[in-house]
Structure 1
Amino acid sequence: MQTLKRVLAGPWVPPELGKLPYLWAFSLTFMLWQYFFVPPRAIELVMFGVTAVLFLPLYLYSFWAEGRAAILCIALTCLIGVIWIPYNTGAGTLFVFAAGMCGRLSPGRNAYRMLAAVLGLATVGGYLLSPIGKTFLLAPWIIGVAVGLGSIMESEQRAARRQLLRKQEEVEHIARIAERERISRDLHDLLGHSLSLIALKAELASKLAGRDLEACKREIGDIETTARRALAEVRTAVTGYRDSGLSGALASARASLAAAGVELREDVPPHFLHGALAAGQEHVLALALREAVTNVVRHAGATRCTVKLALEGQEAVLRVADDGDRLPAGGEVRAGNGLSGMRERAASVGGRLAIAVDKGMRLELRLPVKESKETACPRI
């Protein structure tokens, strides 16, 4: 009933089929061809009027029908064709319509079986009831086979296109989720680092306010600079680009550690800062360095931090270690959003992250690297 109401309300045929089904409906007029040579009897005129009234809605409904409803449409169309065989040589047109309706069945095997049944019924009816015998079979077998096969193959193609569209929608949905997760991780790392630095600078400025006004002004200027840089980084994170890369992350790490009174021991060869790594790998390393330094500043209680980046075999290895005493040696590190995001980013490029506590926390991030001749890095 719902399908019937939809047909009555319109559109009468599925929009993706366009206007062609309405043009095909005029094929029913082929039944009038013989009346150019033989005057129609009254019963035939009445029959044609009743056929038009019954068949045209059935024909339109068949474009929406599936399964048993489609079989019923095919059966009723064949029944009308059988009734017309003794009276009209163009009755084979109805079997052509029935053959075209076979495309509504799925899977394909059922459609081909139904097409064979339609042709078989047309053959038996032509032999037994048609006044022109074998000649009646020309339309069902020549036109009907072509129309039926074409309808079935077109239906299969439409089903394949619908499935492809669904998969594309799923891929787009997964991509949107991945992008949201990427932005969430990046914003956590970027804002966590920048806000920690701003908090330290603000605390230092408040201490200097009554003692050294010039130093206090410098700290407030640094707070403004850091805030503006954080805003710019958030914007670039949303668009998915990084201009500063490792060099920017190192500069930010120096500023954060200096503000927190933590000595930085840095061992990063210059070639890593000038295109030695792919953009995606540099992005992962830069954010990992930001998050690691943020953890040192906020949680470690350290006085010294070591940052080392090197190429070992076919891997770029980032090591960040501190001498903090807030975690017992051999203790377990609870992974928050920052560390979890770091693991996920590393895994996305085939890398791995290891964390240990031994006289401070030690973080080691390994990423596979394919060297190029132009940017080959010295090994250690």
Structure 2
Amino acid sequence: MLINSLQRLRQLAGRPWIPPRRGKAPYLWLLMLSFLFWKYMVVAPTWIEIGLLAATALLFVPVYFASYWCLGSAQALVIALTCLFGVVWAPFNFGASTFFIFACAMAAAIKTPRNAYCTVLAIVALAVATAWRLPGAGFNFLVPVLIVGTTLGFSGVMEAQLRRSRDQLLRKQEEVEQMATIAERERISRDLHDLLGHTLSLITLKAELAGKLFERDPDACRREIGDIEHSARAALSEVRSAVSGYRQTGFAHELTGARASLAAAGIALRAEVQAFALPPACENVMSLALREAVTNIVRHAGATECALSLALEDGMIVLRVADNGARLADGAAVRPGNGLTGMQERIAALGGKLALRVERGLALELRLPAGAAA
């Protein structure tokens, strides 16, 4: 097991020091190594101590970074090595309690919550046993572990549980989206086969018959060619109707999908939609805009409520979507992504306007002329 763990640690050498999704905060936690120098505010260090502290830091930093990547037995090895640093340094420097604090934080990487909590308690128990044999400085050594280490350990385990649940939910959403895409492709394939299969077979047969009648019966040949033209035009019309149906699902259908998406994300929807006829081009743009807005709210806003309204105001069709997300501060700049940029281009093509404002969260207002051409 030890050999496998060491091999696992060697494989980590080529990776980034910290997983990108964890941000820059893990680098700041290394400042807790400064606890090792508190002793020297009242006691002058020797050159031997300085050298040993430098060597300890050089050994511990790779172990610390590895803790963000290791799993299973490798993670247990990393925690054990960190505790070993604390046990070895404890008789000489009460600031060595920082290693037990690091070990408590590392326990959050253990996937099973029960095992993670038990590991934190075991680390604290080891710190208590270590402090018990320290002459005089045991209290200064133990208090940081009991207060900081226990708090970091338990809160880290709970945060890791939430992070894993969130990642699992995102993976499930991606799987559902992928399955929906595959199902839609299969449906389109079936529809096109139903639309074109029979017609193309008929055209093929009539073309073969026209070829046979070309010399023998020119009039019958012309009739067959006319039938071929009629069948081809009918097929083209059916394909155009089908493609138009795929591109324009309708605002009511999109609103139903938005309601389901927001409900799945735990976001309450307040919708006020006036009853009036939407021009086809406007309905298509409104539907796409609603889909993009809801997607942004579900993925990025961190909101609990969403307000939506569709109304006819002074000859303009107005769609408003607002959330109470807390991700944007007052006066923060809104940087449109590819989705919003594409939305703005479609709206501008119909002579409309798109406005984005930061209120409680992000508010979107879309205005289109009621007489926009299809």
Residue 71 (structure 1) aligned to one of 76, 79, 92:
76
Higher relative contact order (CA 8 A, sep 6+): 1
After TM superposition, give the deviation of residue 6 of structure 1 in Å: 4.2
**TM-score, length-scaled by structure 2:** 0.57
State the partner residue of 1:21.
26
Matches within 5 A, 1:162-311: 162-199=167-204, 201-202=206-207, 217=222, 219-234=224-239, 237=242, 241=246
Unaligned runs of 5+ in 1: 244-380
1:177-199 superposed Cα distances (whole Å, 9 cap, x missing partner): 32232123212211122124424
C-alpha spacing 1:67/1:200, structure 2 compared with 1 (3 Å): closer
Aligned to 1:92: 97
Secondary structure of the structure 1 residue equivalent to 2:229: helix
The equivalent residue for 2:86 is: 81
Q: Is the 8 A contact 1:86 1:131 kept in 2?
A: no
Please give the alpha-carbon distance, in whole angstroms, between the structure 1 residues aligned to 2:241 and 2:44.
82
How big is each residue's C-alpha offset from its partner over 1:102-141, in whole Å with a ceiling of 9 and x where there is no partner? 0111211110000000111112212321532323222111
CA contact (8 A) 2:8 2:74 kept: no
Deviations 1:302-356 (A, max 9, x none): xxxxxxxxxxxxxxxxxxxxxxxxxxxxxxxxxxxxxxxxxxxxxxxxxxxxxxx
Q: Identify which of 58, 66, 87 aligns with 1:53.
A: 58
Secondary structure at the aligned position of 2:198 is classed as helix
Q: Give 1:203 shift.
A: 6.2
1:64 partner SS: coil
Q: Is the 8 A contact 1:194 1:226 kept in 2?
A: yes
- Which stretch has the larger CA shift, 137-146 or 153-162? 153-162
Question: 1:32 and 2:28 equivalent?
Answer: no
| Cross-structure match for 1:141 | 146
User: How far apart in 2 are the matches of 1:242 and 1:143?
Assistant: 57
| Alignment partner of 1:111 is 2:94 | no
Deviation at 1:60, TM superposition (A): 0.9
Q: In the aligned structure 2, how far is the partner of 1:209 from the partner of 1:69? A: 81
Name the SS for the 2:133 alignment partner.
helix
Look up the match of 1:121: 126
SS in 2 for 1:112: helix
Q: Secondary structure at the match of 1:57?
A: helix
- Greater C-alpha Rg: 1
Q: Look up the equivalent residue of 1:150 and give its one-letter code.
A: S
Given that 2:9 and 2:70 are in contact with CA atoms closer than 8 Å, whether structure 1 keeps it comes out as no
Describe the shift of the 1:191–1:71 C-alpha distance in structure 2 as closer, same or farther (beyond 3 A).
same
Give the letter for the 1:223 counterpart: I
Pairwise CA distance, 1:166: 2.9
Aligned partners of 1:4 and 1:61 also within 8 Å: yes
Q: Pick one of 7, 30, 51 that aligns with 2:12.
A: 7
Q: Closer, same or farther in 2 for the Cα pair 1:232/1:86, shift >3 Å?
A: farther
- The residue type paired with residue 78 of structure 1 is C
CA contact (8 A) 2:9 2:74 kept: no
Once the two structures are TM-superposed, the CA of residue 101 in structure 1 deviates from its matched residue by 0.6
Q: What is the number of residues matched between the two proteins?
A: 243
Assess if the C-alpha contact under 8 Å between 1:34 and 1:88 holds in 2.
yes
Distance change in 2, residues 1:170/1:210 (3 Å): same
TM-score w.r.t. length of structure 1: 0.57
Question: Secondary structure at the residue paired with 2:103?
Answer: helix
* Structure 2 counterpart of 1:44: 49
The 1:135–1:167 alpha-carbon spacing in structure 2 relative to 1, beyond 3 Å, is: same
Percent of counterpart pairs with the same letter? 53
CA separation in 1, counterparts of 2:194 and 2:70? 55
- Which amino acid is the alignment partner of residue 100 of structure 1? A
Cα deviation, residue 158, structure 1 = 2.8
Give, in whole Å, the separation in 2 of the partners of 1:139 and 1:214: 102
The answer for the alignment partner of 2:161 in structure 1 is 156
Amino acid in the other structure paired with 1:29: S
Q: Deviations over 1:56-110 (max 9, x none)?
A: 1111111111111111111111111112222222121111100011011121111
Match of 2:339 in 1: none
